[in-house]
Amino acid sequence: MERSFQAAEELVTALRAGAVTSVELTEEAIARIERDDEVINAICVPDFDRARAAAHRADQARARGEDRPLLGIPVTVKESYDIAGLPTNWGMPQHRDYLPAEDAVQVSRLKAAGAVVLGKTNVPLGLQDIQTFNEIYGTTSNPWDHDRTSGGSSGGSAAALASGFGALSIGSDLGGSLRTPAHFCGIYAHKPTLGLAAPRGMVAPPAPPLPVDLDLAVVGPMARTARDLALLLDVMAGPDPLTLGKAHDLTLPPARHERLGDFRVLVLDEHPLIPTGSAVRAGVNRVADALADGGARVERHTPLLPDLTEAATLYMKLLISGSVARFPVDADEQLRTRAAGLSADDQSLDAVRQRAMVFSHRDWMEANNRRELHRHGWRQLFAEFDAVVCPITPTPAFPHDHSPNPLERRLDIDGVEYPYFDQLVWAGLATMPGLPATAIPAGRSAEGLPVGVQLIGPMFEDRTPLRLAELLEQKIGGFQAPKYQAAARPRIRTSTMPARSAASGVSSSAASRRCSPGR
């Protein structure tokens, strides 16, 4: 019996019952990767020899009577996580051969839980795109349509799960990088509350793996079922043992409700800054109808909702100013010249992004203070609602677009073009205040592409959107294995990427890429 698409929870039960061994599961996963990944290109750094050895040790441990949450389960890890003995380069050619000395905290937690790491999954250059491609490893394609993106920056992990390459994966999220690939590939992902899971060792090379508190960015689980997300989050959650872990133990509160009919849900399908495509709107409405049919209280409007325009603007300010702070100093004058050339009347998100590139510390503090007001507004909203259902991006997966300057790319929404990065406003709704958000499958488009939505929950109440995701999975179904298979072709290698040189300044395309959202 092939088990490539079974849930991790089911595989754990089978392993405990002796119905299968970890060696068998691992060999099956490796065989599937070797058979199917030539066209998908999800696994950029295989680690099969060590995976086989780990599977053998897992079977021996189980034979001794040991039992751990993921003992013997094959998993993958996003390339951006340090794994001792494997390269970590974030797709950046200058760091192609960088080898970290130790595992990231989350890799250590996976291994301590007994997981078998099959290898690393592909990422965009510097994790800074809504697609997954780089000069080192090439392009990851969507398993549902190989001419389309798998999303980014955790696109390799999402494509791997949708293709049956392991039962679980771990990714990260700053610009929707867990949720967008899940939406595009038809799987589940959870962006935890900011700070819930320690990110040490998920750092761009060659920076040391220090226990820093990231702004906006989180690490989180990806899976093919809602319950598997909860299983993996329990492994990942908790403070860094070098800092807060010295004094703090994590106790997440239980889900607010166990029955669908007890949930109070706000449904959003319109944003003032970008339209929602018909396929995504249908997905949101499919979930809303299921909630109403299940007896949940469903509302479409509330005065408690923080202003969506200001939320998107604050998100872009915090996102871009944080990213651009890592620019070489000699790029600053060029960026200031560009920002100064903007009309004072231009309040578009493109203009917001360009001004944020030259933020002062005072500017950042002002935006951060406004964020605290939004957080307070969300606390008030979640006193009346348990979750918010809304889009992740306005469209299903779009065709590969590797044009060098992402600021010049356009997103087609039902035949009308919009600035490429404007699609991030929905992801930013949860990211800016640091709220948990669970991405779930919500059907397919007329073209047969997956469509997902996100369930945003109250801060540090991650189990509430996770439980709602599980109940909706029972109601409307969840992951389905891709039906579309294009003719096999060689892995796409990208040759249009702009050079990134700190020594020679930053071209407009390289500058825009450096501040591009991802992670």
The DSSP bridge partners found for residue 274 are 271
Q: Which tokens sit at 130?
A: 């809504």
Residue 67 CB: number of other CB atoms within 10 A? 11
Residue where the block lists tokens 């991650």: 462
Judge whether 177 counts as a catalytic residue. yes
502 vs 511: CA distance, rounded Å? 11
**DSSP secondary structure letters along 32-98:** HHHHHHHHH--EEEE-HHHHHHHHHHHHHHHHTT---TTTT-EEEEETTS--TTS---TT-GGGTT-
User: Phi-psi region for residue 393, left (φ > 0), alpha (ψ -120 to 50) or beta?
Assistant: beta
Catalytic residue among 157, 177, 323, 445: 177
What's the one-letter identity of residue 31? A
Given a contact cutoff of 8 angstroms between Cβ atoms, the answer to whether 424 and 320 are in contact is no
120 vs 83: CA distance, rounded Å? 9
Catalytic residue among 22, 80, 153, 169: 153
Catalytic residue among 4, 78, 445, 509: 78
Residue 315 has φ and ψ, to the nearest 5°, of: -60, -50
What's the one-letter identity of residue 126? G
The DSSP bridge partners found for residue 440 are 453
Q: Which tokens sit at 464?
A: 């509430």
> Where in 359-426 does DSSP place strands (E)?
387-391, 410-413, 416-419
Task: Tell me which residue of 509, 256, 483, 489 sits closest to 386, measured CA to CA.
Answer: 256
Residues carrying an active site annotation = 78, 153, 177
